[in-house]
Structure formats: C-alpha cells, structure tokens
Structure 1
Amino acid sequence: MDLPSAVSPRSTSDSSSGSAAERALVSAVRAFAAKHLHADHVCVGLSGGADSLALTAATLRAGLNVHAIVVDHRLQEGAAQAARDAAETACDLGATAEVVSVTVDGPGGTEAAARDARYGALDTARAGRPVLLGHTLDDQAETVLLGLGRGAGARSLAGMREWSEPWGRPLLGVRRAQTRAACVGWGLPVWDDPHNDDPRFTRVRVRGEVLPLLEDVLSGGVAQALARTAIQLSDDADALDAIAARRLDGARSGDCLDVDTLLRDAPAIRTRVVRLWLQSVGVDAPTYRVVRSVDALIDEWHGQGPIAIGGDSRSRLVVARRARELQARRIPR
C-alpha cells in the first residue's frame, strides 16, 4: 500500500537546531551514509517504535530519500492499525511508505520466526535499495550478552554489523534513550509494541532484568563496554575469516578437503575453514558440535567413522576421512 508523501512542518535538512539527541541521530546517519552508501535512495524498516521512527526522521533530515517499509506481523490485536499509523507518520515526515503483511509460522519460536518473516518481507520490498534498521547501542549490548550466554562463539559475540549489504544500522553508537528523546523533540507519535515488555521473550528479560543488574553490580557502563567488545571482536573475526577463506581455496578439491594443508593451521583458522567448507557442501548453519567433530577428523584422527552433518528426507549428508582428505557425501536413507 503506497501512501502519498507530505512535507514535514519542520525542514528535513535542519540539524543545526534541536536537542543533542536529535543532532546525534542526524550526525550518525550522515556519517553512515558517507561511509557506506553510494546513492541517496534508501529504505527504512519502520515499526512505529521510537528507534525506527527516529531513524526515519533522522534519515530524511540527513538529506536522503526514504521509503519506509512497515511490516505487519499480525501477531496481536491492533497491529494492522499501528502499521498504518506508522506509514502515515512516515509520509507526514516526507517519506513514501508501504505496509507489508506477513505470516509468522517458521521454526525456532515466535521471536525467530517473526524475525525471519520480517527480513524476508523487507528484502522483497526494498527493490534493490539498501535497508536501514533502527538497532541501537542497547540492542547491540543485548545481542552480545545473548551470544555470550549461548556460547555461540566470536562471530556471535561480534554482534550486529553496521553494514552487511543490504542491511545498514546507522544507530549502533546511539542509545535507546536518545531515540526516544529525539521523537519527543520532533513531536513524533511513538507506538510501543507490547511484545517489547513481554517477559516470555528472552531478549525482553535480558533488557529488563539482566542488563540493569549488571549495570548496578559493575557500577555502570556495561552496555557501552559490550558494544565496544562487539566492535573489537568483529574486526578480529573479519580478519580470521579472510585468512580462512584463502586457506579453503588452497585446501579444497571439489567436495573434498586436504588434511595435510590444514594440520599446519592454528585451531582458530582451521575450524573456520571447516565451517566454510561445510557451508559450501550444503550445511547452512554448522553447529559448534558439528564443526568440532569434523575438525577432530583432521587434528585428532584415530580411525573414527563418518560424522553426520545434515541431510533431508531422502539422504543423510556425512563427512568421512579417507587417507589424507575429508570427503562429503550423501547416503540414501
């Protein structure tokens, strides 16, 4: 549903006035655009909440052309009206907007299924344009803490990337309180999603219980420290992943992997090579257990049998060691 655009009463290019929060948001978007964007037409994933609404307004004030995409998850009463209201607000600011309805029914629970449905809808509607998302420093801190609690490894602890085409997150250095303050300053009607306060969701409990407790026990600064950790680990993970990709090129022959080539590598490199190789032979998201089990065929070889790494209803996908190489093959069920 395309809605007609309108002109905001306040100039979208005026960032010299207003509160410190408003200026911080506009500056963040401008810095992001200068670093990552090659055109001035972008989409913004808009929910109607303070973060995405402030991002929409700041992006317009930074001089970009904005198309807001509002995803209606249809998970609660009033969601459709909230989506229409958010789209109308975006148009009042000077953007174009559309509402896209999705069905949340995928695996992994409501949170994961809603996220997958949302990203799928945004990717379809963006029409080749980058999509800016309203994740803040607080969201980044929560992501790092969740990754730590799940033992998900360095890449997970690196949190969300500022730019991972086509997804952009200009506000990862901005606090959630600043987005809300900017919405107040710009007179924007914020919709508070009841799910953001529902303790059935793990992230809500981390936000409302775990992080405040850590801030109290460690005398503040925890969210900023977790966000800094994400930046440092992201840089490290990128460097190691680049090395691993080069090593994989030299060690792979079709669906086989040369053992001797990888034995010379440190575990941090070798396990990354194994993960990349597993993805190349059809494992979308290799688990820690699978990666370590396959790595043991290289570094702790004592004649163990094939390792099951996936498959479908017709066949099992396994990795086996044969002489000095690993082989991935399918076995009919």
Structure 2
Amino acid sequence: MPPRHPTIASALGQVRRSLRAAGPPRRILVACSGGADSTALLGLLRLLARDAELELVVAHVDHGLRRESADEAAGVARMAAQMGLVGVATRLSLTPGPGLPARAREARRAALQAFADGHACDAIALGHTATDQAETLLMHAARGCGLEGLAAMRPWEAPWLRPLLGLSRGLTRELCDRMALPFVDDPTNSDEEQPRVRVRERVLPLLRAGNPRVEQALVCLATHAADAEEALSAWAEREEAARRRGPATCWSTDDLHVLPRAVRTRVVRRICGLGGADLGALRAAVIEDIDRAVMARAAALGGTDAVLRPHVWDLRPGLRVRLDRLGLTLARAAPGAEIPAPHDH
C-alpha cells in the first residue's frame, strides 16, 4: 500500500462518520463492480478494517449483458483474494429491453441481500457518490417530487450503507490511483440514451460551470430535505396516533386544520396507508382534495350544508375514505357499492 495521502485521510474520515451513524456495523458486505467508485469504497474500508474491527465480504454481481463482464468479475475476485478477503459472486440472467436499468437494479439488490443473509452481514456497503446523489436529486426534481424525493438516497437505510455520498466521482478515481487499486470503466456509464447519463454529461457540467462544488451543494440540499422529511413524518405519526378512535377505522379531524399543511397532508396519507391504499400509486391530487375538504369544513362549521355534507373518496377498488362530522373514516365496499354513513356517537 502506498504512503497515506491527505486525500485518503479525508476520505477515511467520511467513511468513519458513516459507519458511526450506522451503528456501527461489524460485518459488511461490500458490493464491488470493479468500477472506480466501488473499488475506492473497498480500499477505504480495507484500510479501516483492523482499527474499526470490521469483517468484510466482497460481493460482485455480473449482469451478464456485456462480453467484458466475466473478466471484470474475475478481476474483483483477484482483488479480494489479494486483500485476504472472502469474495462471492453471481451472474444474473437479464435480457435487454424496456426497463432494463430498473430490472437490473432490483435483481442486483436481491442478489446482494441474499449474500448478506448467507454471510451474516449487518450492512451492505454501496459505492454511490456525491455525483450519484446529485443526479438522483435532479432526476427526481425534474419528474416532480416532494421532500422525500429531494432527500434522494439516504446514507443509511438498513441494510444499505452509502459511505461515499460526500465524495465526487472524480475523487474516487483519484483515490483508486493513490491506493494503487485497478478499476474498470463500464461503457454503459457513457450511454446518453440513459436519463441518468444525460444528467451527468449534460446538466451537471453546466451547473458545475457556475459552482465547481455543485455536487456538494446538492448533497447538502438532499440532507436538509431528509432531515425535514424525518421531522415532519414523526410529527404526523404522533398526530395520527392521537386522533385515532379505537380500531384504525376512524380519526378525529378536530383542530386538524390548525396544523401546517405539510403535517396535515402526511396525516391523511398515513390514514390512507393504514387502510391499505397503495401510497406509491395514490395521486397527490387525492390527498390535496381531502385536505381542502378538511379545511373548508373547519372554516364553514355552522355554515352551509353544501360544505358540511359528507365527502367520499375512492382510494382503490373496495376501499374508500369518508369525511363527515365524526372525522375521517375508512370503509371497505365492493366496487360501485355505497358506503353506509357511520353511526354518530
């Protein structure tokens, strides 16, 4: 190993902090593709292993989509052996076609989870960098997202650990060179047919021209968004629990209107989720419509029947939510069936 360099020392500090935030874990599965990011991660964790009492297992997932992939898998196996680490690998059976990046990601994560379970690892380390975080945030923002989308990837989402989110992609290449670790370049990372690559190759350079530290700025934004989302979600969880009447079928809306909108809408989403609604598919417009009705009802108490009459929303076939003087009530019904009004107490 070459003499320690300030760049390596600084990166080690970031990795140490991420380990502390995660527990710290003691047995880590390190996902290594052979590229610069994951190779730098493996090298840094290897440097920390003795002092931090870490046990490392190196995992490689070959997607089987390129002729070079078998050689890359062999290279990762050699590197693990040279480091004296256990190495595991698998080859997936993916076919080109629509949705390939998403299919590959899900298959890769499943394979890594299986390796972690089989080797009793309490964390799976991924080589996502600040550049990846910036790309993810920009893609989410372009599609239209809330705070959760702006939070992008979390440094620790058990069992997924991302120690390099504070380091740019360019820095991981420098780290590999300074640690004398070989790495490969995956040509698919330059394929501008992929939305992520277009953001990397076209959008980030324009932003970087105005702010050379744009990746770090966007990582900071993602961190603030994650902190705010965590705080608001915890507040909404307490409000939902306090308003629950008996079994989770009816919730009081008394004074719900005085809460900040960000908390109110999260309370409504939690209620819908507890009823079995698919929150990923539930349109924001439905939540906003329920919130508007709650606000209108609070403003018009003692007013017109048109505002105070019960309102009903279909969350999915067989599940509806009703707003009336009792509050918000979940009810199951056959598609097309009417929901009987609940009895007043």
Letter in 1 for 2:269: R
| d(CA) in 2 for partners of 1:143, 1:102 | 25
1:330 is displaced (CA, Å) by 4.8
Q: What secondary structure does 1:259 align onto?
A: coil
261 and 123 in structure 1: CA distance in 2 versus 1, 3 angstrom threshold: farther
Letter in 2 for 1:177: G
**Partner of 1:256 in structure 2?**
250
Letter in 1 for 2:243: A
Give 1:104-253 correspondences, 5 Å limit.
104=94, 109-127=99-117, 128=120, 129-216=122-209, 218-252=210-244, 253=247
Letter in 2 for 1:161: R
| d(CA) in 2 for partners of 1:200, 1:149 | 17
Percent identity between matched residues is 34
Contact 1:297 / 1:304 at 8 angstroms: preserved in 2?
A: no
**Partner of 2:267 in structure 1?**
273
The question of 1:57 aligning with 2:63 is answered no
Letter in 2 for 1:266: P
Letter in 2 for 1:73: H
1:200 is displaced (CA, Å) by 1.4
1:262 is displaced (CA, Å) by 2.6
36 and 220 in structure 1: CA distance in 2 versus 1, 3 angstrom threshold: same
Please identify, of 232-241 and 72-81, the stretch whose mean Cα deviation from structure 2 is larger.
72-81
| d(CA) in 1 for partners of 2:93, 2:293 | 42
Q: Which runs of 5+ in 1 are unaligned?
A: 1-9
Cα-Cα RMSD: 2.7
The question of 1:37 aligning with 2:30 is answered no
| d(CA) in 2 for partners of 1:75, 1:304 | 56
| d(CA) in 2 for partners of 1:103, 1:262 | 51
**Partner of 1:327 in structure 2?**
330
Q: What secondary structure does 2:268 align onto?
A: helix
| d(CA) in 1 for partners of 2:286, 2:71 | 45
Query: If you compute each CA radius of gyration, which structure gives the higher value, 1 or 2?
Result: 2
Contact 1:60 / 1:94 at 8 angstroms: preserved in 2?
A: no
Q: What secondary structure does 1:245 align onto?
A: helix
- How does the TM-score come out when normalised to structure 2? 0.81
| d(CA) in 1 for partners of 2:283, 2:74 | 40
Please identify, of 168-177 and 321-330, the stretch whose mean Cα deviation from structure 2 is larger.
321-330
Residue 298 of structure 1: which of 288, 294, 297 is its match? 294
- How does the TM-score come out when normalised to structure 1? 0.84
Letter in 1 for 2:138: L
**Partner of 1:4 in structure 2?**
none
Please identify, of 169-178 and 73-82, the stretch whose mean Cα deviation from structure 2 is larger.
73-82
| d(CA) in 1 for partners of 2:61, 2:255 | 48
1:89 is displaced (CA, Å) by 1.8
Corresponding residue pairs, total:
314
| d(CA) in 1 for partners of 2:250, 2:291 | 14
The question of 1:309 aligning with 2:315 is answered yes
| d(CA) in 2 for partners of 1:103, 1:267 | 47
Please identify, of 49-58 and 169-178, the stretch whose mean Cα deviation from structure 2 is larger.
169-178
Query: CA offsets per residue over residues 235-268 of structure 1, 9 Å max, x none?
Result: 1111111111111111234133333353332111
276 and 18 in structure 1: CA distance in 2 versus 1, 3 angstrom threshold: same
